[in-house]
Amino acid sequence: MSSSAEVQYSPRAIRLARWRRASGKLWKEFAKQKGGVVGLIGLGIFIILAIFGPMLVSENATSVVEATGERMAPPGDGYIFGTDDRGRSVAELTILGTRVTLIIGMAAAFLGMIIGTTVGIISGHFEGKISWVLMRIAEWFMNLPTLVLAVVLVVIMGRGMLVMVIAIGVTSWAGTARVVRAQTRAVEGRPYMERAKALGAGHGHQMVRHVLPNVMPLVLASTIMAVAGAILTESTLAFLGLYDPASVSWGRMLNQAWSAGAMTAQAWWYILAPGLMILLVVLCFTLAGRALETALNPRLRK
Amino acid sequence: MANLKKMLAGGFTGALLLGTAAVPAVHADEDAEDNGAEVEEEVDSAEEVDSEDPDTLVIATNQSVEEWNPFNQIYVIEHAFRQLVYEPLVRVDAEDYSPTGGLAEDWDVSDDGLTWTYHLREGMTWHDGEPITAEDVEYTYHIIFNDPNLEVQYAAMIDLIEEIEVIDDLTVEFTLNRFDYGFEVTDEEILPKHIWEEHEGEWSDWANDEFPIIGSGPYQMVDFEVDTFIRYERFDDYFRGPAGFDEIVYQYYTEPDTSVAALESGEVDIVGGLNEAQIERLEGIDGIETNVAPDRRWMGLYFNTGSQTADGEEFGDAHDALQDSQVRQAIHHAIDRQTLIDNVLGGHADPATSMVPNVFSQIWWEPSEDERVDFDLEEANRILDDAGYPMGDNGVREDPDGEPLEFAIAIAPDATETEHVTEYLVEWLDEIGIDLEVIYSEDASAIFTDGDVEMFISGWGMQPNPIYNFQRNTCGVLPSEPGGTGTDVFYCNEEFDEAVAATQSEQDDDERLAAFHEAQRILYDDAPFVFLWYPYVREAYSDTKIDNIVTQPADEGAILGQTGPWAFHGAEPTGEEVGGVPTGVLWGAGGAAVLVGGLLVFFLIRRKQTAEDRE
């Protein structure tokens, strides 16, 4: 008993136990919210689709030469969601599009989170000029229409997945920065920060060891919701014709449906399939994000 | 690029190079004229477009006008402007593109084919009332001969014409250095001397943007706003008689589906450039007539056949393999025209064999059974094997130096058809061991002319005499500086040059036809291009508003994009009010009006009652 008690007192074990307890509590709060659970299950399905999707569809789903279907044929006849203007299966393309859409959305949100958190913590920790300058930059990005800036970036840097991620990431971090800064200020006011300082902790130590762990849950929640925004931006950019030519994404499908005259031809399946997927994935991320935020923040609970 | 103008008649290049116009919005009322009637018109023109006016013809467009100076124009919409506003001495007719009098009522040629005498019509005036005389003709050529900026563009003409002489007010005589088949229909718009002499020496630098622009055509251009509208007003003293509609307005629609909706609702009367789905939809609608007919255009795959200057200095970093005609022929074998036509254009095109569209049946060439290149990937692979391009380990062939056959094609964003074709190309070329990278760029055409990519997809609108486009592929037009805009694909083949020269200098009809065929055969065989298709026009118009649509050629032809003002001059308003509001809506609106009216009356009565009651 005593030896195990000793083990429990090692700092790592304490941290682990605390973390386990906290996450258990968090999950309990999260599970109380039905919407959040539904969102999470949805996300699971989307992630499975993204990983295994290419195995579910035929090998040449994107090939125009091998396309066997009629042009814009309605659902049925072996094509659950009809065909596109190239005679390919819309259902298969939609499944393939999941991966690109999710990767770009998540990577861009992740990039935005890193920039936003860094800027937020630094400007919250250092007062004065640095903080002022950083916040003005953040405000500048916040007031600039994200989409316009992203369009300009993609046009300048050329098309491609990485460019898309960068364009969306660097235009969407400002909100996170503000939230993190506020939280940093709150953490900085706590007594243990004063103790750490008295013990000689440098700026780096304070920010990374004390502030970061405390803002992390908040950051996580806001990142999950940022994914929803990033996917929307990605789809919009692709719809406007700035898609990555090497891959299929939902926004690109919508763009092609539009230019092929799917509206005029009343080929609703061609627009509905990718459109619905965008709607669902955004909904799932938003539901899960909101639920997580509520679980983390007691004030949001009823 | 801005100096190509002539005979382009609006190529696909133009359509692909859609850019934002650099021309500022200028209103006609800025330059008031001394003429009272003129001022009245200008004031009138500042109003909004009234699309429901039965005497206004509204055409949907999405192409920006970048230049009003005819010498600098290259786009389709600018070509349309010249057809409406200016007249040449002789133009081609709507029936079958044969020569017909423009400003010249008739003309004769000496037996040796060197002296051409043109007799202008009597009593013609410019839009501002000044008489049109032989002096104007002479002055137009004075510009061409003396503006240094036009030297390259008009080199062939400057070389051809020895002398121009004004015999009297209505007679002008041209003396040529040699016989030239194409001279009869030169299609050079005659400009008003009294306007252009104010810009002596700097003609091609002048914007020509003093509205209304003075010309001689059936309509005068009175007003425009960048990417919003262009307004033309009828010229009542036009020598062929006044046109049917009071006004022609080009209205901008950025989305094709929006212009289709506008046609259905009666906001627009003619829409061109439709896609298959739109044509299918419009076919079933009452009061709208669709027009799908062969056009005078071709679309082709361009190869960089060796980007070099006239001095032989090579530039750009395109792969050398395409200088080998075997490689080009192999690619020719790897392209299935019919599949492209069926799947990309919904069957609305004919397979192309040359630069000469099949509508010009007099000189169009068709390969014989033996000469024809059919889609055959095995044959393509065999050609490459034999020519010394062995297959590498990764499925990409290598040239004799061990360089992989990795090519790039530049395409413009939003070029739906081109992109679709490219998807096929990538897959077909992959089958024959050629890797094709797609580069999207607004400057696709410039990337190609700089010699930095191997392929490009484009095309041209042709005139009955294809000489201009033939000459763009002769050795003489290789650029003096790196970056060639005068040449299509940097092609230089003396055999071809000879055939091209013979098409114009040969006086015997049979010999000349043989030369035309030979020139086309060489291009097909040596494959500096793979000619893909001759697209059909896909247009639709409101037949409740427009009577008497003239197509060119008369039997199955185009309405928009004609050479000449025929469709616009011939069109007559039916006079029917087309509000464009569908009947259902009218009933609904009527019902609503009755209801509102009833309520109003009800409340009025009630109020009256209360008012009375209060007494």
Give strand pairing partners of B366. none
Instruction: Say yes or no for a CB contact (<8 Å) between A86 and B438.
Output: no
Against a cut of 0.90, is the pTM above it? Answer: no
List every span in chain B annotated with CATH 3.10.105.10: 297-536
- Of B436 and A10, the one with more pLDDT: B436
How confident is the model at residue B341, as a pLDDT?
93
How confident is the model at residue B597, as a pLDDT?
58
How confident is the model at residue B276, as a pLDDT?
82
User: Distance (Å, rounded) from C-alpha A82 to C-alpha A42?
Assistant: 24
User: Distance (Å, rounded) from C-alpha B270 to C-alpha B80?
Assistant: 14
- Of A258, A261, A254, A84, nearest to B277 (Cα)? A261
What's the mean pLDDT in B312-328?
Answer: 89
Instruction: Say yes or no for a CB contact (<8 Å) between A258 and B257.
Output: yes
User: Distance (Å, rounded) from C-alpha B444 to C-alpha B302?
Assistant: 12
Give strand pairing partners of B166. B172
B269-300 tens-digit pLDDT:
999 988 888 888 888 888 899 999 998 899 99
CATH number of this structure's domain B297-536, picked from the four choices 2.170.190.11, 3.20.20.80, 3.10.105.10, 3.40.50.620: 3.10.105.10
Which candidate in B335, B437, B440 is best for mutational testing of the A interface (most A CBs within 10 A)? B440
List every span in chain B annotated with CATH 3.40.190.10: 56-269+545-588
Extended beta strands in A148-245, E state: none
At a CB cut-off of 8 Å and minimum separation 6, what does B70 contact?
B5, B82, B86, B189, B191, B208
Ranges of chain A with pLDDT below 70: 1-8, 300-302
pLDDT band with cut points at 50, 70 and 90 for residue B477: confident
Q: Is B566 on the interface with A (CB under 8 A)?
A: no
User: Distance (Å, rounded) from C-alpha B543 to C-alpha B549?
Assistant: 9
What's the mean pLDDT in B576-584?
Answer: 53
| B353 CB neighbour count, 10 Å cutoff | 23
Give strand pairing partners of B535. B349
How confident is the model at residue A17, as a pLDDT?
86
Smallest CA–CA distance from A69 into chain B, residue: B343
Lowest mean pLDDT among B30-34, B203-207, B380-384, B437-441: B30-34
Residue B129 has pLDDT above 70, yes or no: yes
User: Distance (Å, rounded) from C-alpha A15 to C-alpha A19?
Assistant: 6
The most confident of the ranges A242-251, B38-47, B137-146, B253-262 is B137-146
Give how far the C-alpha of residue A237 lies from the chain's centroid of Cα atoms, to the nearest Å.
16
| B397 CB neighbour count, 10 Å cutoff | 24
Taking contacts as CB-CB distances below 8 angstroms, the residues of chain A near B256 are: 259, 261
At a CB cut-off of 8 Å and minimum separation 6, what does A42 contact?
A280, A281, A283, A284, A287
User: Distance (Å, rounded) from C-alpha A164 to C-alpha A108?
Assistant: 8
- The closest CB to that of A263, out of B257, B280, B413, belongs to B257
A167-225 tens-digit pLDDT:
999 888 888 898 888 888 888 888 888 888 888 888 888 888 888 888 888 888 888 88
User: Distance (Å, rounded) from C-alpha B125 to C-alpha B133?
Assistant: 9
- The closest CB to that of A64, out of B256, B416, B423, belongs to B423
- Of B438, B430, B433, nearest to B408 (Cα)? B438
pLDDT band with cut points at 50, 70 and 90 for residue B219: very high
| B563 CB neighbour count, 10 Å cutoff | 25
Instruction: Say yes or no for a CB contact (<8 Å) between B260 and A264.
Output: yes
What's the mean pLDDT in B83-101?
Answer: 90
B590-614 tens-digit pLDDT:
556 655 555 555 444 444 343 333 4
Q: Is B338 on the interface with A (CB under 8 A)?
A: no
User: Distance (Å, rounded) from C-alpha B352 to C-alpha B295?
Assistant: 12
B368-401 tens-digit pLDDT:
998 899 999 999 999 999 999 999 888 899 988 8
- Of A272, A248, A251, A277, nearest to A262 (Cα)? A272
Burial of residue B60 (number of CB atoms within 10 Å: 0-12, 13-18, 19+): buried
Question: Can you tell me whether residue A83 is helix, strand or coil?
Answer: strand
Q: Which structure tokens are listed for A97?
A: 């599009």
pLDDT band with cut points at 50, 70 and 90 for residue B215: very high
Which candidate in B345, B420, B437, B438 is best for mutational testing of the A interface (most A CBs within 10 A)? B420
Instruction: Say yes or no for a CB contact (<8 Å) between A241 and B424.
Output: no
Smallest CA–CA distance from A246 into chain B, residue: B438
Q: Is A152 on the interface with B (CB under 8 A)?
A: no
Q: Which structure tokens are listed for A135?
A: 């916040």
Query: ω before B464 within 30° of 0 (cis)?
Result: no
The CATH code belonging to domain A26-59+76-301 is 1.10.3720.10
Taking contacts as CB-CB distances below 8 angstroms, the residues of chain B near A260 are: 275, 277, 416
Mean pLDDT, chain B, whole residue set: 82
DSSP characters over A5-60: HHHHHSHHHHHHHHHHHHHHHHHHHHHH-HHHHHHHHHHHHHHHHHHHHHHHS-TT
Taking contacts as CB-CB distances below 8 angstroms, the residues of chain B near A261 are: 256-257, 275-278
Interface subset of A 64-93, CB within 8 angstroms of B:
64-65, 71-72, 85-87
Q: How many beta-carbon contacts under 8 Å exist across A and B?
A: 52
Taking contacts as CB-CB distances below 8 angstroms, the residues of chain B near A159 are: 440
CA distances, B513 to each of A239, B94, B300, B363, B534 (Å): 50, 23, 23, 6, 21
Are the C-beta atoms of A119 and A207 separated by less than 8 Å? Answer: no
Residue B46 has pLDDT above 80, yes or no: no
B411-432 tens-digit pLDDT:
987 778 898 899 999 999 999 9
DSSP characters over B482-544: SS-SS-SS----HHHHHHHHHHHH--SHHHHHHHHHHHHHHHHHH-SEEEEEEEEEEEEEETT
Instruction: Say yes or no for a CB contact (<8 Å) between B414 and A259.
Output: yes
Instruction: Say yes or no for a CB contact (<8 Å) between A261 and B423.
Output: no
Residue B210 has pLDDT above 90, yes or no: no
User: Distance (Å, rounded) from C-alpha B86 to C-alpha A45?
Assistant: 65
User: Distance (Å, rounded) from C-alpha B99 to C-alpha B93?
Assistant: 6
Smallest CA–CA distance from B274 into chain A, residue: A261
Distance from CA of B254 to the nearest CA of A (A): 12
For CA atoms B474, B480, B486, B489, the dihedral sign is positive
- Of B16 and A124, the one with more pLDDT: A124
- The closest CB to that of B416, out of A87, A159, A259, belongs to A259
Distance from CA of B614 to the nearest CA of A (A): 56
User: Distance (Å, rounded) from C-alpha A121 to C-alpha A213?
Assistant: 11
How confident is the model at residue B594, as a pLDDT?
59
Query: What percentage of chain B's residues is helix, strand, coil (to nearest 5)?
Result: 35, 20, 45
Lowest mean pLDDT among A212-221, A225-234, B3-12, B466-475: B3-12
Are the C-beta atoms of B330 and B303 separated by less than 8 Å? Answer: no
Instruction: Say yes or no for a CB contact (<8 Å) between B257 and A64.
Output: no
Kindly report the CATH class assigned to B56-269+545-588.
Answer: alpha beta
Q: Which structure tokens are listed for A214?
A: 């405390």
Smallest CA–CA distance from B421 into chain A, residue: A64
Q: Is A261 on the interface with B (CB under 8 A)?
A: yes
- The closest CB to that of A64, out of B257, B424, B438, belongs to B424
CA distances, B26 to each of B19, B204, B230 (Å): 19, 20, 11
Give how far the C-alpha of residue A171 lies from the chain's centroid of Cα atoms, to the nearest Å.
13
Query: Residue A76 has what DSSP assignment?
Result: B
How confident is the model at residue A1, as a pLDDT?
45
Rg (CA), chain B: 27
Smallest CA–CA distance from A239 into chain B, residue: B414
